[in-house]
Amino acid sequence: MSLRGGDPAEIGGYPLETRLGSGGMGTVFLARTSSGRPVAIKLIHQQFAGDDEFRIRFRQEVAAARRVSGAFTAAVVDADPEAEQPWMATTYIEGDTLAQRIDKKGPVNGAELRRLAIGLAEALRDIHRVGVVHRDLKPSNVVLSPEGPRVIDFGISRAVDQQTLTMTGRVIGTPPFMSPEQLQAPRGVGPSSDVFSLGTLLVYAATGHGPFDADSPYMTAYQVVHEEPSLGPVPVILRAVVEPCLAKEPEARPSADELLVLLRDLPADLGGAEGDGAGADVAGAGRTRDVSTQHHLETTRGAAASTDPTVAPAAGPGPGAGTGSTSTAIGRRLRRRWRP
Contact of 172 with 186, CB cutoff 8 Å: yes
pTM of the model: 0.74
Can you give the pLDDT at residue 26? 87
Higher pLDDT among residues 52 and 25, named by residue: 52
Can you give the pLDDT at residue 69? 65
Can you give the pLDDT at residue 278? 32
Contact of 137 with 201, CB cutoff 8 Å: yes
Parallel, antiparallel or unpaired: strands 132-133 and 10-11: unpaired
Amino acid at position 265, single letter? D
Can you give the pLDDT at residue 295? 44
CA distance 21 to 31: 13
Contact of 66 with 76, CB cutoff 8 Å: yes
Using the predicted structure, report yes or no on whether residue 332 has a pLDDT greater than 70: no
pLDDT, tens digit (0-9, with 9 covering 90-100), for 308-330: 443 334 333 333 333 333 334 43
136 is catalytic: yes
Q: Check the CA dihedral 206-210-214-215 and report its sign.
A: negative
- Among 292, 296, 301, 281, which Cα is nearest to 321's? 292
- pLDDT category of residue 173 using cuts at 50, 70 and 90: low
Contact of 46 with 25, CB cutoff 8 Å: no
Can you give the pLDDT at residue 274? 60
CA distance 333 to 266: 11
Parallel, antiparallel or unpaired: strands 87-91 and 38-44: antiparallel
Q: What is the DSSP letter of 260?
A: H
pLDDT, tens digit (0-9, with 9 covering 90-100), for 182-211: 999 877 789 999 999 999 999 999 999 999
Q: Which of 126-140, 241-255, 271-285 has the lowest mean pLDDT?
A: 271-285
* Cα-based distances in Å from 54 to 154, 207, 228, 326, 340: 14, 36, 35, 51, 39
CA distance 224 to 178: 8
Q: Which of 51, 103, 136, 308 is catalytic?
A: 136
Contact of 118 with 124, CB cutoff 8 Å: no
* Mean pLDDT, range 128-132, rounded to an integer: 89
Can you give the pLDDT at residue 18? 95
Q: φ, ψ for residue 292 (rounded to 5)?
A: -65, -40
**In 3-state terms, what secondary structure has residue 265?**
helix
Using the predicted structure, report yes or no on whether residue 218 has a pLDDT greater than 60: yes
pLDDT, tens digit (0-9, with 9 covering 90-100), for 28-82: 999 999 999 999 999 999 988 888 888 888 888 888 888 886 788 988 999 999 9
Amino acid at position 301, single letter? R
Domains of the chain by start residue, with CATH: 10-91 (3.30.200.20), 98-338 (1.10.510.10)
The whole-chain average pLDDT of the chain stands at 79
Strand partners for 80:
87
pLDDT, tens digit (0-9, with 9 covering 90-100), for 83-103: 999 999 999 999 999 999 999
Q: Which of 8-17, 55-64, 93-102, 105-114 has the lowest mean pLDDT?
A: 55-64
CA distance 82 to 31: 20
Using the predicted structure, report yes or no on whether residue 300 has a pLDDT greater than 60: no
Contact of 115 with 131, CB cutoff 8 Å: no
Strand partners for 29:
19, 41
Can you give the pLDDT at residue 251? 96
Using the predicted structure, report yes or no on whether residue 287 has a pLDDT greater than 50: no
Can you give the pLDDT at residue 299? 47
